[in-house]
């Protein structure tokens, strides 16, 4: 439905978006994820029509939209700062776009009432934006941008200003609304958990380029680069040289440590430098030496207690730290492992992922 074709955006000599191509499909909940300044807002502003690409085209439903002004696009945006009109009531804020369309009065009030119900704001219809709370404001902004039933809704860090609990609630509300209305959503966030929760597909950006575009689980379990692996979730990354051994690779990564075995479809030449990423929840920790594909010995140097899980930082003889997570299934204040314990960490050959770059 949306197609970016070799889009480049420059501000002066600074390249904010670098030759980027991307397809976003109908009825999708698409998340743009990336560190601050990587060009997420710039992408949104190009979709909304506030910025023009320096090169390349942007298509919406097969038609080039680069020269279409923002007021003529079937695209609405929910602004990072909400941008509610302070002189209008909640009701009039939501009705604003409909009035511009020249919709009949009774139809407008029906539509506004529907939006108020959807966002549970019925009680606040006559209030001004500064007379309601932050979370309510955010819902007004959402209702306003949804009211015109756009083909595409852009959400620029919509939940940035909310506290954690409200944010989680709103995430589910957003998903609910997206399903009910069938609108295509593009959401910008730099909160990776949020992207994983709400989106059907996630794009990880870095400095104006797309690093990977995939479903949340693919991004998490099959990152295509160190950058993506490191950006999403917790991970330990080791560097070494891989040698093919049957259908597996053996990664020589440190002197005096056994090689790490890993299954991978990747083609890596003998002697090429490659990387190995392993997530802490895939690593087991034991007092006695276990049987497994990868078994390493080390010492507990740090423990992160999170209630439901604990993360152990295990330092190996060569100084490398591997993180392992354990569910605290038993209710006791006595931890199974404590500082300076000598322990074994182990995982199978399918737990980690081999990366070429």
Partner 1 sequence: MRRMSGFNMIALTLGFAFLYIPMVILVIYSFNESKLVTVWAGFSTKWYGSLAQNQQFLDAAWVTLRVAFFSSTIATVLGTMAAYALIRSGRFLGRTLFSGMIYAPLVMPDVITGLALLLLFISIGLDRGILTLVLAHTTFAMCYVSVVVSSRLMTFDLSLEEAARDLGCTAAEAFRLVTLPIIAPAVISGWLLAFTLSLDDLVIASFTSGPSSTTLPIKIFSSVRLGVSPEINALSTIMIGIVAVGVLAASLVSKRSLVKRQADEAAAVRAEAA
Ligand X SMILES: Nc1ncnc2c1ncn2[C@@H]1O[C@H](COP(=O)(O)OP(=O)(O)OP(=O)(O)O)[C@@H](O)[C@H]1O
What are phi and psi for residue 234, nearest 5 degrees? -95, 140
42 binds, among partner 1, ligand X, Mg ion, none (CB under 5 to 8 A by kind): ligand X
Interacting residues with Mg ion between 5 and 64 (CB under 5 A): 41
| CB atoms inside a 10 Å sphere around CB 288 | 6
- 332 touching partner 1, by CB under 8 A: no
- 308 touching partner 1, by CB under 8 A: no
Instruction: State the Rg of the chain over Cα.
Output: 25
Interacting residues with ligand X between 20 and 49 (CB under 6 A): 34, 36-42
Instruction: Decide: helix, strand or coil at residue 197.
Output: helix
Residue keyed to tokens 């070494």: 240
Cα end-to-end distance, the chain, whole Å: 31
* Shortest distance in whole angstroms from residue 11 CB to ligand X: 3
Provide the strand spans (E) within the chain.
Answer: 2-11, 14-24, 29-33, 55-60, 63-64, 75-78, 152-156, 184-189, 201-206, 209-214, 236-245, 248-252, 260-263, 273-278, 284-286, 294-305, 309-316, 321-327, 342-347, 353-355
Q: Which of 16, 77, 112, 300 binds partner 1 (CB under 8 A)?
A: 77
- 11 touching partner 1, by CB under 8 A: no
- 190 touching ligand X, by CB under 6 A: yes
Mark 240-269 with x for binding to partner 1 (rule: CB under 8 A) and - for no binding: ------------------------------
Quick one: 217 exposed, middle or buried, by C-beta within 10 A (0-12, 13-18, 19+)? exposed
- Residue 244 has which token pair? 């093919």
81 binds, among Mg ion, ligand X, partner 1, none (CB under 5 to 8 A by kind): partner 1
**Angle formed by the axes of helices 134-147 and 105-118, to 10°?**
140
Q: Which is nearer to ligand X, 103 or 207 (CB)?
A: 207
* Shortest distance in whole angstroms from residue 75 CB to partner 1: 8
- 125 touching partner 1, by CB under 8 A: no
- 344 touching partner 1, by CB under 8 A: no
User: Under rule CB under 8 A, how many of the chain's residues touch partner 1?
Assistant: 29
Q: Which is nearer to ligand X, 16 or 277 (CB)?
A: 16
The contact set with ligand X (CB under 6 A) reads 11, 14, 16, 34, 36-42, 190
């Amino acid at each position: 439905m949306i197609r970016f074709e070799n889009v480049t955006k420059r501000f002066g000599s600074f390249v904010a978006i670098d030759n980027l191509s991307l397809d976003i499909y109908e009825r999708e909940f698409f998340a743009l994820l990336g560190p601050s300044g990587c060009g997420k807002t710039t992408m949104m502003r190009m979709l909304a029509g506030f910025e023009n690409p320096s090169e390349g085209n942007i298509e919406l439903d097969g038609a080039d939209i680069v020269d279409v002004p923002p007021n003529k696009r079937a695209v609405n945006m929910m602004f990072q700062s909400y941008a509610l009109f302070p002189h209008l009531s909640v009701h009039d804020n939501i009705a604003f776009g409909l009035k511009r369309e020249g919709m009949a009065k009774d139809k407008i009030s029906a539509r506004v009432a529907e939006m108020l119900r959807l966002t549970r704001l019925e009680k606040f219809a006559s209030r001004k934006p500064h007379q309601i709370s932050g979370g309510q404001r955010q819902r007004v902004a959402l209702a306003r941008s949804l009211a015109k039933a756009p083909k595409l809704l852009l959400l620029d860090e919509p939940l940035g200003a909310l506290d954690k609990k409200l944010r989680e609630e709103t995430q589910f509300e957003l998903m609910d609304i997206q399903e009910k209305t069938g609108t295509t959503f593009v959401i910008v966030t730099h909160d990776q958990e949020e992207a994983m929760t709400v989106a059907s597909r996630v794009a990880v950006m870095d400095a104006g380029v797309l690093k990977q575009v995939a479903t949340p689980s693919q991004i998490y379990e099959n990152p295509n680069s160190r950058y993506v692996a490191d950006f999403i979730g917790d991970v330990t990354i080791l560097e070494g040289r891989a040698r093919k051994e049957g259908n597996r690779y053996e990664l020589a990564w440190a002197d005096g440590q056994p090689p790490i075995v890993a299954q991978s479809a990747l083609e890596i030449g003998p002697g090429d430098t490659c990387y190995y990423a392993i997530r802490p929840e895939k690593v087991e920790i034991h007092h006695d030496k276990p049987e497994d594909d990868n078994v390493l010995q080390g010492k507990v140097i740090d423990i992160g207690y999170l209630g439901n899980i604990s993360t152990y930082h295990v330092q190996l003889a060569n100084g490398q730290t591997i993180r392992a997570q354990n569910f605290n299934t038993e209710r006791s204040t006595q931890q199974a492992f404590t500082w300076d314990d000598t322990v074994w960490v182990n995982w199978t050959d399918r737990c980690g992922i081999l990366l070429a770059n």
